[in-house]
Structure 1
Amino acid sequence: MFLQLGNARLWIAPRLAELLHQLAKAPRQRSNLSRRPANQIPWLFPGVLPRHPLSRKAFNDQLARHGIQARPARTAAPIARAAELPPSVLAELLDVHIHTALNWAHHAQRDWSAYLTARITDRDGGG
């Protein structure tokens, strides 16, 4: 199961996926102000405003009340990507400054010199 948060698709562990399925199927007590049109897909985490999802801050606050801290995962995710991708590719892919991507690569302790050498050789027409 994947959870769509904005443009990001996050893999959900099977146990948590089952709990989220139960949450999605559970009837909700809602006020008349937040009723949605029949053709609109309901949010798994509805916000205070009608037709809007729960804000990121409110979602993080609810997670924190249950002892779940999202910041370590948000910090670890780009570092994990930096172990798989060169900083120049990562910076372009995630639209971050190259220094940020280099910092993540440093934390991942990954050396991309072989990749850079291959790119220079390819560019110069070497074999």
Structure 2
Amino acid sequence: MRQHGLPSIGARNTAMMEAITDLPPIVVSDLFGIHPNTACAWAQYAQNSWAEYLEAVQATDDGAI
């Protein structure tokens, strides 16, 4: 990317923000090879809370037969 004059850190950060808004932090940590706590920090930075998702999954699991 540097050979073409593109800032690599900006591209990485953009990719991280896009991923963290669509995927749970644990998936992003595996995808990018970062520590899960770092992925959680990025999720907080992106103002992305998975609490609603986890509540919905738990509600579905509680009602399952």
| TM > 0.5 | yes
The superposition leaves residues 76-105 of structure 1 with CA deviations (integer Å, 9 ceiling, x where unpaired) of 111111011111222233332111111221
Runs of 4 or more consecutive aligned structure 1 residues displaced over 6 Å after TM superposition:
none
Alignment match, 1:73: 11
TM-score (norm 2): 0.69
The structure number with the bigger radius of gyration is 1
Cα distance in 1, alignment partners of residues 10 and 59 from structure 2:
38
- Equivalent runs, 1:27-38 vs 2, <5 Å: none
Structure 2: state its 5+ residue gaps: none
Identity within the alignment, %: 33
Structure 1 equivalent of residue 54 of structure 2: 116
Alpha-carbon separation, structure 2, partners of 1:79 and 1:88: 14
Length, aligned pairs only = 63
Please name the residue that 1:126 is paired with: 62
More helix by share: 2
Q: Structure 1 71/92 Cα, relative in aligned 2: closer, same or farther at 3 Å?
A: closer
> Which of the pair is proportionally richer in strand?
1
The Cα RMSD (Å) is 2.1
